[in-house]
Structure 1
């Protein structure tokens, strides 16, 4: 099956960079690299770049990554942002969506097909359940944007398989390798790629954990991941400070893999 897309640029934050899906060397693999590999199998000469950097806020993604993508004129762009903004107290999902829409309009005006992503349903994550309302409002806007600009949508909210803790890494904010694979398969489905694997395949039965063990795990998680995150926010720091994109050039996918 030959596809009409011969190039892909991925834009975003840690989700698109691929945390916590270890790749070659000190890099991360992630759903975007996995998706690019799937497309490359059906598109000879396929080129790929990934500008995503962990910790980026939506406006930073738009200012730093969107113009670069437009200048390269790729056939396909994946654009996911706003998750870090939603985590900030008093952030406004309506205002975020207005900013997001301008970027989508610019990408579409440049002739790129665009894939966008809803936010995850946070109901299964302690401390983040209170954000469900904001995420839902933001998602509603994103669906409207997708319709207005004829974008393809990867609906992460509806992916119930991601409510399993095995889909997430120890910090409960980033996907595990299996979680990234599920998202890659979902994105591939949205693009019309056929695959022997199914993103919705049920997980094997999970061994039950008693209440005390679960609470100890929650406390450990809060101490090791939540408290440091709050500290960075208070200091105005980001995990991505000083980092550069892992795939900053639109290169044939085979060369991307060799340089990793």
Structure 2
């Protein structure tokens, strides 16, 4: 009986979250604002990817960030250095951002800026390979990161994240020569469950793959068909 109640509660929570996520999406669409939900485990490179993206695209797109973290504003402070609005959200014990939290972040953004002036909202989710993929926030696309240091089997062990991803960045590929890792096997494991996602191997250190990522972002903001990278 207890298990049945818990399952029903989980369904109700997801349903309520989806309703608010749809409401967020209506706002994004009315503003002409593309929202990308960036997700990964801790340490896969979300924040450094956003740093590189903000620096590279500042002349092409007007951007804002909602920065989710369980505690502290350390990552938010890093991103503020790029001269964009950054709204920090501390989730406490919650392992993900949800639509209500992002809605609150949007209201804070509206207090100081006109959302119609922005092209791109980057949502950096809490580091976790499970919960963020299950709670939509109104995003137009889900971006998943997987570091080569995490191993080839993660897409099989944590399938929801990789099933839901519209774009997967395989990060830290500059470390491949020092690891027993096969990037193609990572890609093959993702392809078992997701045939549509763009897959882009990248290195923030060497810059490899970043131009392909920037092109993907720019196309998504212009509401064109998002580029498919069939690595």
Normalised by the length of structure 1, the TM-score is 0.35
Name the structure, 1 or 2, with higher relative contact order (CA <8 Å, separation 6+). 1
The structure that is strand-richer by fraction is 2
